[in-house]
Amino acid sequence: MYVVLLLGFIIIIVFLYDYAQKRSDRWKKLSEFPGDATLPLIGNGLQLGFDADEAPHKLMALWVKHGKQNFRLTVGYEDWILLSDPDDIGSLLNHSTELSKTVERNAAIKPFFGDSVSSSEGVKWRSMRKLMAPSFNFKNTEKWLEDVNKSCDRLFNILDTYDSEGPEDVYRYLRPYFFDLLCGTLMGVDSNLLADPDHPYLKASGKVVKILTHNLFAYWRNIPVLFVLTPMYWDMVRTIKTMRQASTLIINERKHKLKQFRDDSIKNNKNVDIDIEVLLQNQLNYGGSMLDALLRSKLPNGESTPNQIISDEVTLACFTGHYTTTKTVSHTLYCLAKYPDVQRKIVEEQRSIFNNDFDKKPTNQELSQMKYLEAVIKETIRVIPTVTKIGRQLQNDFTFKDGRVAPAGTSLIVFYEALYQNPKVFPEPEKYIPERHLESVHTFSLVPFSAGPRMCIGFRYAWVAMKSTLSNLLRRYEIIPGGPGTEPKFAHRIITESKNGLQLRLKKRKL
């Protein structure tokens, strides 16, 4: 009897709370945006269901249902407004103070990457970003390009052995390729995972996007008491441990190299009046790795930056830096296999730039001439968004251009999938038309690296790595569809990836 009474009392409290919420000033502001009716406690959670890989399709269906415009959604007691208007997206991303990432996103990502630059705020975020920024300066592009060209030769040695032998999963080779490239360029160490595509790090990091997406959309996982009882939790723990071990090895190897450089410098300059620390700083200022900047950094109190902070940043950079470039380049190759006329146009552009010398390695000047190749990459990102959503947790009320107000505490979500399919932004969005990016477009119609104060710090590095890799690949191989039964099964997770890999055939070009 008492249990029934208690249960009835709880239900009454829940409905009274929901009644009060629906009559609040906050809800009046949210109601200005189209959206479905919400249920007490769970909001619109049931509409998203319990399959995280299906949730993006349901969100797109809601976007269509509500007129292909910004719309609201409530999950539990978290209110979201999903944005597909480029003007509103620009206002949000360019905002000088609304810089906080969403609560749901941070809860999912912090177990993997800690309080890294991706999720930190305030003084810590600004100081860490300022510390790493010089490593991504435009002046370093020549060094990056040199590293890409050398790495491509190692990739070719492997891919040449599969010439015309049947479909191969390009994810399998491009992931270690981009990881090795990133380690050599930004970490100053040689990893050579390309020689071991079944390396534990690659197996572990291959699970991250699925786990993160399920943590974000499977809301019960945010209840630690329940989550720790499941096999999924322990799989996540093992994955994180493997990734952190890889970061520790990278950090320790670079520490050893810096010590060796210091010792050699002292030995070679023992008769010269020179400050070794100044010498090391000069090396950092002129092409030093991002990891060097972290290892030589100090806290405000003068103490060396703790290993945990360095590990957070290295783990984040190693994963996001290799994973996003892998997916973008792989998906571009898939689109070129699917649309051979587009591939032919790229080859023609390459031929005109290199004067038929297809063995030549590209320079920065030649990369800048590859306008059509860049348009193809952008169109691929539009059709198969590498990153599907980013967001901000509002600290204050946010006013849109039409006068509507999103109340403080709301999660504003840049809904890339909807933005890129918005016919008002991209006419005939169902068609693959690279030429649309050769014309003038809205500044915020395609922002794969975000924009404004929290724009991805590595965007220059990513563009150099992707364009130069594709240039080298497409001058060496014709990209052909994998054949029957190999069509990719794309899952629009936090990062879009094919659940069955990406099978393509490579055929050596005959010039």
Q: Are 217 and 55 spatial neighbours (Cβ–Cβ below 8 Å)?
A: yes
Residues in CB range of 220: below 8 A, 6 or more apart: 226, 227
The answer to whether residue 8 sits within a structural domain is no
The answer to whether residue 13 sits within a structural domain is no
Please tell me whether residue 406 adopts helix, strand or coil conformation.
strand
The arithmetic mean of pLDDT across residues 382-386, rounded, is 98
| Structural domain that includes position 426 | 32-508
Question: What whole-number distance in Å separates Cα of residue 86 and Cα of residue 91?
Answer: 9
Question: Residue 9: is its pLDDT beyond 70?
Answer: no
The answer to whether residue 425 sits within a structural domain is yes
Residue 405's DSSP bridge partners are 399
Question: What whole-number distance in Å separates Cα of residue 105 and Cα of residue 387?
Answer: 13
What's the pLDDT tens digit per position in 143-153? 899 999 999 99
Q: Which residues of 170-208 are buried (b: 16+ CB within 10 A; e: fewer)?
A: bbbbbbbbbbbbbbbbbbbbebebbeebebebbebbeeb
Q: Look at residue 332 in the predicted model and tell me its pLDDT.
A: 98
What's the pLDDT tens digit per position in 279-292? 666 665 555 689 99
The answer to whether residue 63 sits within a structural domain is yes
Q: Look at residue 420 in the predicted model and tell me its pLDDT.
A: 97
Range scoring the smallest mean pLDDT among 62-71, 117-126, 461-470: 117-126
Largest CA distance in the chain: 91
Cβ atoms within 10 Å of 449's Cβ, excluding its own: 18
Residue 305 DSSP one-character state: P
Question: Residue 400: is its pLDDT beyond 60?
Answer: yes
The arithmetic mean of pLDDT across residues 444-472, rounded, is 95
Q: Are 33 and 399 spatial neighbours (Cβ–Cβ below 8 Å)?
A: no
CA distances to 147, 156, 300, 306, 314 from 150, rounded to whole Å, are: 5, 10, 39, 34, 23
Residues in CB range of 456: below 8 A, 6 or more apart: 449, 450, 462
Quote the number of domains for the chain.
1
Q: Which residue matches tokens 């689109």?
A: 335
What's the pLDDT tens digit per position in 50-83? 888 999 999 999 999 999 999 999 988 889 999 9
Q: Are 212 and 493 spatial neighbours (Cβ–Cβ below 8 Å)?
A: yes
How many residues make up the chain in this entry?
511
Question: What whole-number distance in Å separates Cα of residue 410 and Cα of residue 398?
Answer: 9
The answer to whether residue 167 sits within a structural domain is yes
Average pLDDT score over the chain: 90
The answer to whether residue 6 sits within a structural domain is no
The answer to whether residue 278 sits within a structural domain is yes
Residue 491's DSSP bridge partners are 497
Amino acid in position 163: D
Please say whether the dihedral angle defined by the alpha carbons of residues 438, 385, 172 and 326, taken in this order, is positive or negative: positive
Residue 498's DSSP bridge partners are 490
Q: Are 492 and 388 spatial neighbours (Cβ–Cβ below 8 Å)?
A: yes
CATH number at residue 443: 1.10.630.10
Please tell me whether residue 312 adopts helix, strand or coil conformation.
helix
Question: What whole-number distance in Å separates Cα of residue 398 and Cα of residue 98?
Answer: 9
The arithmetic mean of pLDDT across residues 286-312, rounded, is 85
Q: Look at residue 228 in the predicted model and tell me its pLDDT.
A: 83
Q: What are the E-state strand segments in 153-301?
A: 168-169
Q: Which of 384, 399, 395 is nearest to 432 (CA)?
A: 384
Question: What whole-number distance in Å separates Cα of residue 296 and Cα of residue 129?
Answer: 15
Question: What whole-number distance in Å separates Cα of residue 260 and Cα of residue 106?
Answer: 38
Q: Look at residue 92 in the predicted model and tell me its pLDDT.
A: 97
CA dihedral 288, 290, 294, 300 (to 10 degrees): 90
The answer to whether residue 273 sits within a structural domain is yes
- Locate 73 and state its tokens: 């959604």
Question: Residue 230: is its pLDDT beyond 90?
Answer: no
Q: Are 404 and 345 spatial neighbours (Cβ–Cβ below 8 Å)?
A: no
Please tell me whether residue 144 adopts helix, strand or coil conformation.
helix
Q: Look at residue 443 in the predicted model and tell me its pLDDT.
A: 92
**Residue 456 assigned as binding residue:** yes
Pairing relation of β-strands 411-415 and 78-83? parallel
Question: What whole-number distance in Å separates Cα of residue 221 and Cα of residue 46?
Answer: 15
